[in-house]
Amino acid sequence: MSDLIKIAIDAMGGDDSPRKIIDGIIFNHNKSKENFFLIFGNENEVNKYLKNKIDKKFYKIIHTDSFVKSTDSPLEGAKRGKNTSMWLAIESVKRKEADIVISAGNTGALLVISKLNLKMIENIDKPALSALWPNKKGMSVVLDLGANIECSSKNLVDFSIMGASLYKSLYPNDKPNVALLNIGSEELKGNDIIKETFQLLNEKISNDFNFSGYIEGNQLMNGEVNVIVSDGFTGNVALKTAEGTANFITSELKKALTGNLIGKISSLLNFFNLKKFKKRLDPRLYNGAIFIGLDSPVVKSHGGTDFIGFANSLDVCNKIVKGDLIKKIKYNI
């Protein structure tokens, strides 16, 4: 079983854990037998939901009663000590017992504990929080989504390289187009940092990505750009706006198609198209944000997702390891 990808899992993080986490593991395992799961959490609770639904050669439970609470501040989460399920899961990656770590728990605590345990990749100053977004032609990588409120031009160049490396890990046959999120497409638009970053990327020759200049918020989903780069403040606002817009569209459409007889008839006639539309906007399909810049990959699953969303984030873990993300970043930096 040495060829299996070893995923360290904080089983106690996020809503409805560990049930959701274990159900996600089972769902993922039933689709693919490529992963070995190191499950950190309360053994009795984990076994309650696991119930021998997976062959024991595909998992190991590491017992702990301690876990980071969703209400903890990042510092409080770290101060809970080295016996929490989150800390132990991250530490297993540090010790090379696992290839990658994932948690649906407290985002701030996950970042702090990861930085306490894992080294930065050489020549990278700050890790970034990245995620996958749907677009008209497929998927985009967007970063930073909140790890760094303020960034220098060097940070943004690093994010561009790391984002392109992540995209290549997930989609090895494609060469990504990288763009900076800005308030306009003209060279003179934006603050001094983003204009300086534009110049640095414009002069940079890379075999791994094409630099496409600036992209505006209304172009994020057009599919012309695969890697979208910003500071954490701007990226987080863009993320929350996109999520809110998607939720608004789906809820309003549902109201319109179920509110009266004509709407109900219309929804029946367009059943398959509506199902396809709903699936395209299903956030569970894009679950799994990635902290990149550390010398081991750390994945953050949305705390409120269900077991299908968590199972999809395990797919992301698998692709990151198979795509040699860390090796790609080190080579490109």
Greater pLDDT, 240 or 39: 39
Q: How confident is the model at residue 261 (pLDDT cuts 50, 70, 90)?
A: low
Across 42-64, average pLDDT: 93
Q: How confident is the model at residue 195 (pLDDT cuts 50, 70, 90)?
A: very high
The pTM score is 0.85
Across 190-215, average pLDDT: 89
* Helices 325-332, 153-170: inter-axial angle, 10-degree rounding: 140
pLDDT tens, residue by residue, 147-180 = 888 999 999 999 999 999 999 988 888 899 999 9
Which range has the top average pLDDT, 94-98, 187-191, 235-239, 271-275?
94-98
pLDDT score of 323: 87
Does the pLDDT of residue 196 top 90, yes or no? Answer: yes
Q: How confident is the model at residue 203 (pLDDT cuts 50, 70, 90)?
A: confident
Mean pLDDT for the chain overall: 87
Across 32-39, average pLDDT: 95
Across 236-261, average pLDDT: 74
CATH number of 1-124+293-333: 3.40.718.10
Does the pLDDT of residue 49 top 70, yes or no? Answer: yes
pLDDT score of 208: 83
pLDDT score of 21: 95
Residues of the chain within CATH 3.40.718.10 domain(s) are: 1-124+293-333, 126-285
Does the pLDDT of residue 299 top 70, yes or no? Answer: yes
Contacts of 91 (CB under 8 A, 6+ apart): 82, 117
| Domain boundaries 126-285, CATH class | alpha beta
Does the pLDDT of residue 237 top 90, yes or no? Answer: no
Give the other-Cβ count within 10 Å of 311's Cβ.
25
**Cα separation, 230 vs 151, whole angstroms:** 9
Give percent of the chain with pLDDT exceeding 70. Answer: 89
pLDDT tens, residue by residue, 114-154 = 999 999 999 999 999 998 888 888 889 999 888 888 999 99
pLDDT score of 114: 94
Does the pLDDT of residue 32 top 60, yes or no? Answer: yes
pLDDT score of 139: 86
